[in-house]
Structure 1
Amino acid sequence: MPSTVYLSTVQQYLTRYGMTTYIILGNIGLLLNIAIFIWPAYRRNPCSIYILAASFCGLIGLNISAVPVVYALDNTNPVTASLFFCQFQFYSRHSFNQMMRTYFIFACIDRYAISSNNVRIRSFSQYRTTIYIIICIPIFWLLLSIFPVMLRSLENGKCQGKPGSPSIILSVYISIVVGVVPLISMIIFGILMLKNLKNIRARVQPTGISSVIKYGLHKRDRDMMRMLLIETMCYITTTAPLSISLIYQAATQTVKKGNDQQRIELFITYFTGTFLIYFNNSLSFWIYIMVSRSFRLELKNVFLKCYELIAGKQIQINTLSTT
């Protein structure tokens, strides 16, 4: 018996246990992200506002995207039973997941801007500018997401692109907006952030006072840059396979394939386009808590504040040195 017949069993185990685990941990982490980034220490920081918005959209996107996949293991999936649910679920998950990715890109841009030696570039990192962008991003994606919805339909009990040219166009669109553009943007601004950090470390004055203070990059700012750089690498790792898979599908759509090859490609499509891509939504909190001491301290303060409210006792809240 060909080993490919076991791929469906592997897929079920990945969905039932793997996705269930990261849905639970992702929800916990994203809720704690939101609790931390509305903390006064972060509330006026432009990068924190982007991460807060990304966490909110990521929370919605994770549940809209991943929960129906797990639910469908033992129940009838409304997404594959109704054209309305097929298109509405895709519209919702695509909109919110793209909002999350776009907010994260702007968080990277903000960290690049604030670490720049150029005054005009640093001026991008302002509260008013951030609020304007925060408002515009949802409008942009809620409108643009109408286009790919029109290319989807129910075909043979599957919610997918319409046969022929619409399916190819949809694959190209997804590979561009989910893969190519975010990946290139994150790589570019990740490299620019690293370059600016290197320049900042080199600008140490004879008095021993680093220009980190001169240019406003305090401990929390530097921690945020590290957090975003690690998250960027994780995003590239979890998203690049999807782009490759989609490009391959579009290029080989008219090629006749055997049963084993079809099973393998279906599993790859599931792993790259469902398991890995939604796994990315659940990572941010766990990356931040491992990378940043200031983030761990703020998490501790959130718990202390909650205990203070419940117990009715005054507790000393620890603060982080800014240098």
Structure 2
Amino acid sequence: MLVSTSVLSRAIFGITGVESLATSVFWCKFRWLIGPAGGLISITCICFAAIDRYLITSRQVNRHRWFTPRRAQYIIVIVVFVWFMTSLPNVFLYTFPSCSVTNAIYSQYLTFYNISTYSVFPLIILPIFSYLTWNNLRGGVMAGIGQNRLQSQVTRMMFAQFGLVFGASVPNMVLQSYLAATRNIAKTPLRVAQDGIVSCVLTMISFAPHAMVFYVYLAVSATYRENVRTVLFSCLPIINRVTPLNEQPLQRMTKTGTN
């Protein structure tokens, strides 16, 4: 949702030269409601997946049942509701036609809110639970089912995922901090243009965890690639060639004549 609403408006502006956020009240409100909520839902699900990996590999068997499919569904519903509620004030405080926040207090709040949720939150959760999962695997919890291969696969996926989130979260933290520090500073047109280019690049980088986790897993894990291949081929129609009845006697006669 974040990638769709954010990139689409930028693509429309790049192709047509029309800023859709400044020409449509609905699109302005929709973008700042769906975009932030979708991004936070994605980041939260990545963090919950890291917690789930730790629970599954825990030495205490009762923890394996903490994240049942039914509980996971309830948790996702709660996460979606919470993040949509936190993004709801954007609908009222992003003003048209500039489609920006004019309230100084709320603007300052958004800076700390974005740094906390998009950067600090995942950079705390992911390293902790990735290390705990790796420690469980190293301790031989999964012995008897290909421990070394499993540990190698999971370790690569965890490091790749953390690297992706780290590479996206740190630039976002730097960008938000810089924008907050220079908000009240008078800037020349050249500096405004330079800041706009840097902001655009760092913002696009911050979309990486929401759009590239699947491809990162695909690149680093042979088991994941095999599972994806199995799912894709299972969706293809299976074509079985059935020999017509009128061909069967001819085949038998041919074999008899040969003998």
- TM-score of the superposition, structure 2-length normalised? 0.80
Could you tell me whether the CA contact under 8 Å between 2:122 and 2:165 is conserved in 1? no
For 1:66-81, list aligned pairs within 5 A: 66-75=7-16, 76-81=18-23
Distance 1:149 1:236 in 2: 30
Could you tell me whether the CA contact under 8 Å between 2:169 and 2:206 is conserved in 1? yes
Residue 62 of structure 1: aligned partner: 3
Gaps of 5+ in 2: 243-259
Distance 1:136 1:282 in 2: 23
Taking a change above 3 Å as real, the CA distance of residues 214 and 133 of structure 1, as seen in their structure-2 partners, is farther
Distance 2:8 2:147 in 1: 40
Is the aligned partner of 1:111 residue 2:53?
A: yes
For 1:1-323, list aligned pairs within 5 A: 60-75=1-16, 76-154=18-96, 158-200=98-140, 211-213=141-143, 223-224=153-154, 226-273=156-203, 275-307=204-236, 309=237, 311-312=239-240
Distance 2:241 2:161 in 1: 37
Which protein shows a greater Rg? 2
Distance 2:118 2:180 in 1: 15
Could you tell me whether the CA contact under 8 Å between 2:137 and 2:147 is conserved in 1? no
Distance 1:131 1:199 in 2: 31
Could you tell me whether the CA contact under 8 Å between 1:239 and 1:272 is conserved in 2? no
Q: CA RMSD in A?
A: 2.8
Distance 2:148 2:77 in 1: 28
- TM-score of the superposition, structure 1-length normalised? 0.66
Residues 24-43 of structure 1, C-alpha deviations (whole Å, 9 max, x = no match):
xxxxxxxxxxxxxxxxxxxx
Distance 2:35 2:95 in 1: 16
Give the number of equivalent residue pairs.
241
What's the offset of the Cα at 1:312? 4.7
- Tell me, what secondary structure is at the counterpart of 1:283? helix
Distance 1:198 1:110 in 2: 17
Identity %: 22
Distance 2:36 2:189 in 1: 30
- Tell me, what secondary structure is at the counterpart of 2:142? helix
- Tell me, what secondary structure is at the counterpart of 1:73? helix
- Tell me, what secondary structure is at the counterpart of 1:212? coil
Residues 255-299 of structure 1, C-alpha deviations (whole Å, 9 max, x = no match):
2233333222222221122x1122332212211111111211122
